[in-house]
């Protein structure tokens, strides 16, 4: 393996970690609510702006601005669930009764609203978030990486691990998994499915916003910055298996590395196409993804 | 009976005249509608769209405060294209058919302009291309399309001359995958072949919607060129510059960074690039130290009073676009399309940047103001204003590399 290959592998894995942080929230929402949130990228965008403006305009230290961005994303998730999503399934215990195509329209509308709202209120200009560390270059053998990118990747891994642990072992995590498996059954067992939905939307919004904040020194905040994480997240959720958190993590790393090597050894022009080609192959030969279930409740 | 009829006829005629007179008066005072297509929402460059809108509004105010054009005020009818060709096409269609504008201007993205001029050509309506740099816009040879703004061949020649004077041997352009970016990358290659055939040149096209350019930059770190030319627009350009800097590629002791996209006068430039912009050489269409006609100074001051921002190149290009339309209406004494196109073709007008005339040569020179003024300057400090930057050379003047700032090894 040459020096550049090591460089590509490391950078690909780091990119994959960021993809995972973006995609887990989307995967969770699909797992619980069985809908695709088309405004997911805009939660990322709001987090990037929240972190940057809190730190730059208010002068708040970056280590406080970072969790505050998570809180802003979580609050936006709560607001979205209570005002836009709840009316879609209120009173229904089975997803078969719910008109989930409305959710597509509602979240798509929310996405357009948020992009244009930020464009008009904050302005069209891009903002670069302040880095967590000022070290611009860290040398690790053949790999040269910015200090912020390295630290951000470490934080992203920690956040992903904590999220996975919470879902697996915490009280609310177990309830979320129960609702994910069978909403009616969970409801009959006394689980508050509406509350589970709120928690998932808040967690999803918070994680996407946190990813936006963490990456804002690398990918400058702008009104349309959410389009990129949204598209990557949709691909990852399908590759990993819809609703599967471990699947989303593995698919993210896989996609990051494939894109990194493909961009150099095939063409940078087709970098974003590699994910779409993988998506088509999976839909043809393994539509349930890496860890997904073969069928859906009807 | 005949007398009675004559009296009745006279009465009717007087009544009609009495009704028509105020109408005729109102028509004379009706505003002249000028259509504007700009980007006001993503994914196109909203920053550029905002600067163009400001420039047109400043120019419209100057014209209207001076009594308008033959007593009629200028009214701007603005359409958002989002920088998308299909939206630009629809916008021009609407402006021409529903709003009945006398001319269209404002477009600042080549891909959108290329779509818009097709419709303008079909309706034979004057189209002043404010900032579409692609040579293809001119090469179409449409008589309705006039270009008082910059063009790719001009930047290509300027960039090639700078590379020659820097004495570099290997040059890489990083271009966005648009008509503008690819066209300009090719124009630089053509110009280098003519004036510096020994220079090895290649260009990489990158997706402007992409957010991570590391895989394209890593191979450059292993084998760094002598100069990298940026042909991308924000926000992608900022991300790319930051990654070039983080990887130690450029600006560096080995590699110059040259900007052919006019990034430095964007209001958000320094906030987004910081150290990555220090040392960058810039192809500039505006610098406060450039010689400028009185109208340019008036527009610059009005813009600063309106927005509290420093003047920028797009402000002047946009203002000139509208001044040219007003000048053509005055000379044609009509808003008829054919008369306006003829008058525009005969333009000899001192605008905000100099005396504008349109060449009739074929190819990229068609209906183009060939002598668009430009300078080369270098940013030598972080957060440096364009006015404080080092003016390295003006159009046609040689550049002395020994006087340039370069990072230490």
Determine which of B49, B173, B206, B212 to mutate to test the interface with A (most A C-beta atoms within 10 Å).
B212
Length of chain B: 409
Domain count, chain A: 1
> Which pLDDT value is given to residue A228?
84
Among B251, B229, B240, B254, smallest CA distance to B173 is for: B229
Min Cα distance A208 → chain B (Å) is 16
Q: A-B interface: how many C-beta pairs under 8 angstroms?
A: 104
Best mutation target, B44, B172, B218, to test chain A (most A CBs within 10 A): B218
Q: Does B272 touch chain A (CB under 8 A)?
A: yes
Interface contact flag, B215 A219, Cβ < 8 Å: no
- HSE-up of residue B112 (Cα within 13 Å, Cβ side): 28
d(CA A26, CA A208): 8
Among B51, B207, B211, the strongest candidate for a mutation testing the A interface, having the largest count of A CBs within 10 A, is: B211
Domain harbouring A254, CATH code = 1.10.3470
Mean pLDDT to the nearest integer, A148-170: 94
Does residue A290 lie in a domain region? no
Task: Give A137 to chain B, closest Cα distance, Å.
Answer: 6
What are residue B248's phi and psi, to 5 degrees? 70, 20
DSSP symbol at A91: T
Residue A225 in domain: yes
DSSP string, A37-65: -TTHHHHHHHHHHHHHHHHHTS---HHHH
Question: Is A182 part of a structural domain of the chain?
Answer: yes
At A295, is the pLDDT very low, low, confident or very high (cuts 50, 70, 90)? low
Q: What is the mean pLDDT of residues A144-168?
A: 93
Residues of B in contact with A8 (CB under 8 A): 215, 218
| A267 closest CA partner among B350, B224, B156, B210 | B210
Q: Which helix (H) or strand (E) holds A27?
A: helix A3-33
Of B41, B222, B248, the CB nearest to A119: B41
B224 by DSSP, 3-state: which? coil
Looking at residue A1, its pLDDT comes to: 66
Contact (CB<8Å) A11/B218: yes
**A15 shares contact with chain B (CB less than 8 Å):** yes
Which residues make beta-bridge pairs with B377?
A: B282, B391
CB B314 within 8 A of CB B148: no
Which chain B residues are within 8 Å of A15, Cβ to Cβ? 212, 214
Q: Do B235 and A126 touch (CB under 8 A)?
A: yes
Confidence of residue A15 (pLDDT cuts 50, 70, 90): very high
Whether A231 is in a domain gets the answer: yes
Beta-carbon contacts of residue B92 (< 8 Å; ≥ 6 apart): B35, B37, B104, B115, B116, B119, B120, B127
Which range among A78-82, A126-130, A179-183, B281-285 shows the weakest confidence by mean pLDDT? A179-183
pLDDT in tens, chain B (409 residues): 445 445 555 554 554 444 444 444 445 579 999 999 999 987 788 889 999 999 999 999 999 999 999 999 999 999 999 999 999 999 999 999 999 999 999 999 999 999 999 999 999 999 999 999 999 999 999 999 999 999 999 999 999 999 999 999 999 999 998 888 999 999 999 999 999 999 999 999 998 878 889 888 988 988 899 999 999 988 899 999 999 999 999 999 999 999 999 899 888 899 999 999 999 999 999 999 888 999 999 999 999 999 988 899 999 999 999 999 999 999 999 999 999 999 999 999 999 999 999 999 999 999 999 999 999 999 999 999 998 998 888 767 788 888 899 888 7
Q: What is the DSSP letter of A214?
A: H
B47: left (phi over 0), alpha (psi -120 to 50) or beta: alpha
Query: Could you tell me which residues are beta bridge partners of residue B393?
Result: B376
A88: in domain: yes
Best residue of A13, A116, A125 to probe chain B, by most B CBs closer than 10 Å: A125
Q: What is the mean pLDDT of residues A272-276?
A: 89
* Cα A11 from Cα A13, distance rounded (Å): 5
Is residue A114 included in any domain, yes or no? Answer: yes
Distance (Å) from the alpha carbon of A172 to chain B's nearest alpha carbon: 35
Does residue A64 lie within any of the structural domains?
yes
Q: In B81-178, which ranges are continuous DSSP H helix?
A: 85-97, 110-123, 135-139, 152-166
Residue A291 domain flag: no
Average pLDDT over every residue of A160-173? 92
Do the beta carbons of residue B245 and residue B213 sit within 8 Å? Answer: no
Enumerate residues 159 to 178 of chain B having a beta carbon within 8 A of any beta carbon in chain A: 177
The pLDDT assigned to A293 comes to 67
- Say yes or no: B207 contacts chain A, CB-CB below 8 A: yes
A268 to B47: CB separation less than 8 angstroms, yes or no: no
CB contact under 8 A, A128 and B238: yes
What chain B holds in terms of domains, given with CATH numbers, is 31-150+291-365 (3.40.50.2300), 153-284+379-403 (3.40.50.2300)
Neighbours of B267 (CB within 10 A): 15
Residue (of A51, A53, A41, A44) closest to A112 by Cα position: A41
The reply to whether residue B235 touches residue A124, judged by beta carbons under 8 angstroms, is no
Question: Which chain A residues contact residue B49 at CB under 8 A?
Answer: 124
Print the domain residue range for A129: 3-285
Residues 31 through 70 of chain B touching chain A, CB cutoff 8 Å = 41-43, 46-47, 49-50
Q: For residue B43, give the nearest of A11, A224, A269 by CB distance.
A: A224
The answer to whether residue A159 scores a pLDDT higher than 70 is: yes
pLDDT confidence tier of residue A134, bands split at 50, 70 and 90: confident
User: How far is the CA of B171 from the CAs of A26, A124, A295, B158, B168, in angstroms?
Assistant: 43, 32, 55, 14, 7
Q: What backbone phi and psi angles, to 5 degrees, belong to A143?
A: -95, 130
The C-alpha atoms of residue A202 and residue A187 are separated, in whole angstroms, by 20
Query: In the structure, what pLDDT confidence band is assigned to residue A100 with cuts at 50, 70 and 90?
Result: low
Provide the strand spans (E) within chain A. Answer: 138-140, 143-145
> How many angstroms separate the CA atoms of B359 and A286, rounded?
61
Reading the block at residue B282, the tokens are 């810039």
């Amino acid at each position: 393996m040459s020096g550049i290959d090591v460089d590509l592998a490391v950078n690909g894995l780091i990119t994959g970690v960021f993809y995972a942080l973006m995609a887990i929230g989307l995967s969770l929402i699909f797992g619980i609510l069985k809908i695709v949130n088309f405004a997911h990228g805009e939660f990322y965008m709001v987090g990037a702006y929240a972190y940057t403006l809190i730190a730059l305009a208010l002068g708040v230290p970056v280590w406080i601005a970072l969790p505050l961005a998570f809180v802003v994303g979580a609050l936006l998730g709560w607001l979205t669930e209570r005002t836009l999503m709840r009316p879609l399934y209120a009173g229904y215990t089975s997803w078969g009764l719910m008109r989930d195509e409305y959710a597509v329209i509602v979240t798509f509308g929310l996405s357009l609203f948020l992009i244009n709202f930020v464009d008009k209120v904050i302005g069209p200009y891009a903002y670069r978030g302040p880095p967590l560390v000022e070290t611009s270059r860290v040398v690790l053998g053949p790999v040269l990486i910015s200090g912020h990118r390295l630290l951000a990747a470490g934080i992203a891994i920690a956040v992903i691990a904590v999220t996975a642990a919470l879902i697996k072992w915490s009280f609310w995590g177990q309830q979320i998994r129960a609702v994910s498996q069978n909403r009616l059954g969970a409801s009959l067992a006394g689980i508050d499915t509406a509350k589970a939905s709120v928690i998932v939307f808040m967690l999803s919004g918070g994680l996407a916003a946190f990813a936006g904040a963490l990456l804002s020194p690398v990918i400058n905040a702008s009104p349309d910055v959410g389009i990129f994480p949204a598209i990557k997240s949709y691909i990852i959720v399908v590759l990993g298996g819809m609703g599967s958190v471990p699947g989303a993590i593995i698919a993210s790393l896989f996609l990051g590395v494939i894109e990194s090597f493909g961009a150099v050894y095939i063409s940078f022009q087709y970098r974003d196409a590699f994910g779409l080609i993988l998506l088509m192959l999976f839909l043809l030969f393994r539509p349930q993804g890496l860890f997904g279930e073969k069928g859906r409740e009807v | 009976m005949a007398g009675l009829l004559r009296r009745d006829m006279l009465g009717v005629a007087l009544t009609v005249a009495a009704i028509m007179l105020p109408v005729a008066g109102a028509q004379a005072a009706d505003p002249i509608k000028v259509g504007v297509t700009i980007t006001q929402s993503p994914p196109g460059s909203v920053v550029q769209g905002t600067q163009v809108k400001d420039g047109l509004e400043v120019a419209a105010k100057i014209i209207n405060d001076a009594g308008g054009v033959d007593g009629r005020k200028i009214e701007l009818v603005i359409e958002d294209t989002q920088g998308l060709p299909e939206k630009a096409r629809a916008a021009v269609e609407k402006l021409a058919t529903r709003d009945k504008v006398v001319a269209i201007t404002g477009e600042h993205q080549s891909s959108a302009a290329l779509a818009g001029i097709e419709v303008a050509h079909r309706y034979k309506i004057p189209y002043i291309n404010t900032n579409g740099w692609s040579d293809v816009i001119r090469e179409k040879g449409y008589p309705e399309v006039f270009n008082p703004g910059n063009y790719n061949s001009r930047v290509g020649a300027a960039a090639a001359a700078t590379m020659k004077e820097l004495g570099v041997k290997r040059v890489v352009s990083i271009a966005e995958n648009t008509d503008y970016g690819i066209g300009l990358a090719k124009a630089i290659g053509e110009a280098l072949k003519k004036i510096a055939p020994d220079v090895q040149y290649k260009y990489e096209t990158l997706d402007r919607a992409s957010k991570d350019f590391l895989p394209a930059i890593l191979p450059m770190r292993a084998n760094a060129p002598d100069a990298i030319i940026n042909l991308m627009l924000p926000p992608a350009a900022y991300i790319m510059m930051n990654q070039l800097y983080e990887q130690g590629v450029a600006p560096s002791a080995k590699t110059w960074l040259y900007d052919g996209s006019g990034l430095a006068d964007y209001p958000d430039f320094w906030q987004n690039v910081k150290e990555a912009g220090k040392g960058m050489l810039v192809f500039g269409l505006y610098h406060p130290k450039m010689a400028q006609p009185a109208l340019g100074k008036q527009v610059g001051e009005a813009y600063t009073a309106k927005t509290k921002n420093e003047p920028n190149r797009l402000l002047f290009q946009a203002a000139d676009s509208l001044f040219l339309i007003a000048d053509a209406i005055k000379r044609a004494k009509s808003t008829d399309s054919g008369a306006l196109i003829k008058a525009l073709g005969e333009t000899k007008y001192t605008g905000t940047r100099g005396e504008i005339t349109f060449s009739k040569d074929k190819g990229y020179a068609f209906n183009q103001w060939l002598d668009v003024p430009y300078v080369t300057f270098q940013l030598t400090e972080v957060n440096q204003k364009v006015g404080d930057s080092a003016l390295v050379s003006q159009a046609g003047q040689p550049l002395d590399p020994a006087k340039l700032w370069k990072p230490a090894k």
